[in-house]
Amino acid sequence: MKKDEIKERIRSAIEGRDLCRVYFKYDPAYFYYFPLKMGEKLFLGAEEDDFILDGFSVRRFCDVKKAEVKDDKCIEILRSEGVLENVTVPPIDLTDWHSVFLSLREMDRNIIVEHESLDADECEFAIGHIEKVMKTKVLFKHFDADGIWQEGLYEIPFSQITSVTFDSRYVNIFSKYV
């Protein structure tokens, strides 16, 4: 799909509160999002997983290969269950990564920052909180898989970020125990 088609599909899904199946160039699978808001280069979606919403993700349009509106029995179920009724669009400025991180820092919660790739050796995953937002990078305090806060700050260049996730079950529950 062409970028303009992808953006139009996302824009239309925002207006119609439609569920989208989104394919990314770095993953052979796809993700389900209710797109909520978009900027020129980034979009915000509520991730759907088995009839529940599991947090929010900010993703780059440049990584999207294809976006399709999902229109089947699952949509009927989601609407009947009222899944979208209480969703509030988080106050995230989607101008660029700098503005996204400034917005998230104001929310003061733990997040996940990722660099996704088809090459597993290139993938990066960090979970923790924002310490400082700079012009081209974020300084991040993160914890490991054992819930141990790591010494020092992790420096993440904006150019390496493919997604930022917040308010997911994973990050919220894990964060209670670190």
Tens of pLDDT, residue by residue over 12-61, are 999 999 999 999 999 999 999 999 999 999 999 999 999 999 999 999 99
Helix H or strand E segment including 111 = strand 111-115
Lowest-confidence pick of 74-83, 111-120, 132-141: 74-83
Q: What is residue 85's predicted lDDT score, i.e. its pLDDT?
A: 85
DSSP letter string over 29-87? Answer: SEEEEEEEEE-SSEEEEEEEETTEEEEEEEEEGGGEEEEEE--SHHHHHHHHTTTTTT-
Report the alpha-carbon distance of residue 68 to residue 22 in Å, rounded. Answer: 7
Average pLDDT over residues 60-66: 98
pTM of the model: 0.94
Domain boundaries, the chain: 3-176
